[in-house]
Structure 1
Amino acid sequence: MRVTVFVVMVICMVCASEAKVANLTEACFRCLCMAPTRCSAPKRCFGDFCGPFNLSKDYWLDAGQPTLLNNDPERKGAFEDCAKDYECAKTIVAGYLEKFVTDCNNDGVIDCLDHMMVNANGRYDCSTPLETTTVGRRWLAAYEKCKVDL
């Protein structure tokens, strides 16, 4: 009985943490990893960026330093190991967006396009239209391809 209650509590905690970010669905996560890596999970980092979402250590720090289960965020390699694991990397993205997402395009709704704009433009200037920069156009093209699944 105790194990069942514990499992239900953990599941509810995970659901509650993912529900804090509006419209951050599995389909949106797939859109968010399409632009930087086409959702491939490289076995190693490239420069300062790792995993299917091409995350930086600063992004991870801003997200609250999530780690793989039973890992210590202070351990050397904790960021890299989490960022290269799709499910753990999703917790990084969710933590970051929970902290920084806003209605970037001022349409009155926080949706996957806003999440894309935060990731493409950065947290300080997410309102820059994606079509105005090279990086933004790459993110917008990825969004246009995957938005049908949202």
Structure 2
Amino acid sequence: MYNLQSISTVTIITAATIIAVTSIDRNSVGIVCLKCLCESVSNCNASFGCDSNNICGPYQITEPFWIDGDKPLVESDDVENPGAFSRCTADPTCATRTVYNYMNKFKQDCNDDGDVDCLDIGHIHKYGLQKSACSHKLVDTFKDRICSCLRENEAPENVPIGCRHK
């Protein structure tokens, strides 16, 4: 269980990957949420390449998402090098940094419960930033995966209200 106030480096080890996130504080997207988002999207499959729509990596990130997430790079890469985007999304640490940056920049309270929680982050990840994104209902299987992961990995009081009923 994680109740983070400030941690300089945190590592989560899952069966599929190692996710490293730096500089997390309690007002940012948490490591448990990132882990659950990754598991909900692809089971954190680090070998997930890019599909025909150029949606890439374990978080299934698009290039505009990567750009909005401040274009993180794998070590020794350059943003000007062709393929920097796909190399980042294929690297669990770089892909996680992309999602972390993006969500901390654009997070919002989609369900108007007064708290930006992992379900809100799921909405933004699935539906983007358009004004109507929050009006979409999360697909039940996606929501169920996030909620199940949060209930398994988060302190009960930190599980979003929308996930406590199962």
Q: CA RMSD in A?
A: 2.1
Runs of 5+ consecutive residues of structure 1 not aligned to the other structure: 1-10
| Percent of pairs with identical residues | 29
User: CA 1:86/1:119 → structure 2, altered by over 3 Å: closer, same or farther?
Assistant: same
Which residue identity lines up with residue 25 of structure 1 in the other structure?
G
- 1:35: Cα distance to partner? 2.5
Q: Which has the higher contact order (CA 8 A, sep 6+)?
A: 1
Q: 41, 46, 60: which is aligned to 1:41? A: 46
TM-score, normalised relative to structure 2: 0.71
Name the residue aligned to 1:130: 137
Which residues of 2 match residues 30-69 of structure 1 at below 5 A?
Answer: 30-42=35-47, 44-47=49-52, 48-69=54-75
Letter aligned with residue 148 of structure 2: K
User: Counterparts of 1:10-49 in structure 2 under 5 Å?
Assistant: 15-16=22-23, 18-19=24-25, 22=28, 24-42=29-47, 44-47=49-52, 48-49=54-55
Give the distance between the partners of 2:48 and 2:134, measured in 1 at CA. 33
Tell me, in whole angstroms, the C-alpha distance in 2 between the residues paired with 1:85 and 1:21.
25
Higher strand share: 2
1:79 is aligned to 2:88: no
Between the two proteins, the alignment pairs up a number of residues equal to: 133
What one-letter code is carried by the residue in structure 2 that aligns with 1:92?
T
Aligned partners of 1:88 and 1:49: how far apart in 2? 15
Looking at structure 1, the residues matched to 135 and 57 of structure 2 have their Cα atoms a distance apart, in angstroms, of 25
Change (3 A) 1:141 1:87: same
**Over alpha carbons, which structure has the higher Rg?**
1
Question: TM-score, normalized by length of structure 1?
Answer: 0.78
Rounded Cα–Cα distance in structure 1 between residues aligned with 2:68 and 2:27 = 15
Gaps of 5+ in 2: 1-7, 10-20, 155-166
* Alignment-mate amino acid for residue 102 of structure 1: Q
